[in-house]
Amino acid sequence: MANDPDTQGRAILWSPSPNRRRRSGKVSKIGKNSPRREGKPLIQPRQFSVSVMIVAERIDIKALAHLPMVAQSPLMVRLPSAGAAAIFRYGAVAFFAEEAGDREWLMNTIERASAGGGDPYSEEKATVVVGAHAHEGPVGNEIHLHVADRDRLQLLAEVMSKAAMLSFQERRSAGEFDRIEPLARDLADDGKLSVRSQDLLRTVGDMLLSEHRLTSRAEVLDKPELLWSNPHLEALHARLEGDYEIIERAKALERKLATLSRTAETLLETVRYKSSHRVEWYIVGLIVSELLLSLYSHLPR
């Protein structure tokens, strides 16, 4: 059939480049002539880890005003150790230089402001290496920065959180394909569907929510607000965005979600058509029964 996900899904699935997280990234012309600006280091060690994970479907940032705030948009707070964490309203949390107990403390703190489940399998990890004369950007499995200041860490958290969100949605959409494919095959084989319209409606709703998370909450394809006031970081952003293949993955996921939505809607219309057809036969049966009863009442006795 035209909307068979087995046919369309394979043509649009995104697969990571074999060189992903193995290249230093192309030097972007964006921000090339911008003056070099460095702020006060937020993280002191010259090398530390960064880990980003999806802990919930959404987080109420306004409810976290009591935390020791370091920066806004995105919200960045101090951890009990010397590290820091960036929190995003679409459920992503980035940990910088975390130590034992930091993650548990923050998770307990934001639990009341969180809604929905997260995905521990969508975690993104990297090692940040600070060097004043280093070429800023990803180098293999490391990310080199001139200084671990607030602006650079916020920018790194933005890009890695979008990558984690994309991984989260890619896993969910793959599960939706697994759910819809047998239904489409049943319809193609014998023209019958063994599914309730309510289940298909739920699937369509999941697709709409996934699109909303990407376009409205995560704003994956939008330029971070941080760059408007920090044009000197545009080259670093371009290298990070290219290394994590944010644009390519987001566009492939949008096409995949659109295909899933169209397929689910087609199956739903098929179920509705069969239901309405069955109701029409019920109506015809009732009319015939009424006529027979009327004729029977007029027969001579």
Q: What is the pLDDT of residues 190-203, one digit of tens each?
A: 555 555 566 666 66
Question: How much is the pLDDT for 29?
Answer: 44
Question: How much is the pLDDT for 129?
Answer: 96
> What's the distance, CA 205 to chain centroid?
15
Cβ–Cβ under 8 Å, residues 156 and 88: no
Greatest mean pLDDT range, 187-196, 263-272, 276-285: 263-272
Residue 191: in which H helix or E strand, if any?
Answer: none
Question: How much is the pLDDT for 294?
Answer: 67
Tokens 């290496």 sit on residue: 129
- Between strands 142-145 and 119-130, the pairing is parallel
Residue 33 is given by DSSP the state: T
Question: Phi, psi (5° rounding) for residue 105?
Answer: -60, -45
Q: What is the pLDDT of residues 33-42, one digit of tens each?
A: 445 567 789 9
Compute the residue count for the chain: 301
Q: What is the rounded average pLDDT of the residues 201-218?
A: 62
Question: What is d(CA 287, CA 116) in angstroms, rounded to the nearest whole number?
Answer: 50
| pLDDT band of 246, cuts 50, 70, 90 | very high
pLDDT at 151 over 70: yes
pLDDT at 30 over 50: no
Question: What is d(CA 147, CA 133) in angstroms, rounded to the nearest whole number?
Answer: 10
Tell me which long-range contacts 253-256 makes (C-beta under 8 A, separation of at least 24): 253/14, 253/166, 253/169, 253/170, 253/173, 253/214, 254/211, 254/214, 255/12, 256/9, 256/12, 256/13, 256/14, 256/173, 256/177
pLDDT at 284 over 70: no
pLDDT at 162 over 80: yes
Q: What is the pLDDT of residues 77-114, one digit of tens each?
A: 999 998 999 999 989 999 999 999 999 999 999 999 99
Cβ–Cβ under 8 Å, residues 64 and 108: no
Question: What is d(CA 230, CA 243) in angstroms, rounded to the nearest whole number?
Answer: 21
Instruction: Name which residue leads in pLDDT, 134 or 244.
Output: 244
Question: What is d(CA 270, CA 192) in angstroms, rounded to the nearest whole number?
Answer: 9
Cα separation values, 273 from 187, 282, 286, Å:
13, 14, 20
Cβ–Cβ under 8 Å, residues 264 and 203: yes
Question: How much is the pLDDT for 108?
Answer: 94
Instruction: Name which residue leads in pLDDT, 137 or 263.
Output: 137
Question: How much is the pLDDT for 239?
Answer: 96
Question: What is d(CA 229, CA 117) in angstroms, rounded to the nearest whole number?
Answer: 34
Q: In degrees to the nearest 10, what's the CA dihedral of 196, 201, 204, 205?
A: -140
| pLDDT band of 263, cuts 50, 70, 90 | confident
Question: How much is the pLDDT for 11?
Answer: 39
Least confident of 60-74, 135-149, 150-164, 201-215: 201-215
Average model confidence (pLDDT) for the chain? Answer: 78
Question: How much is the pLDDT for 8?
Answer: 41
Q: What is the rounded average pLDDT of the residues 260-272?
A: 70
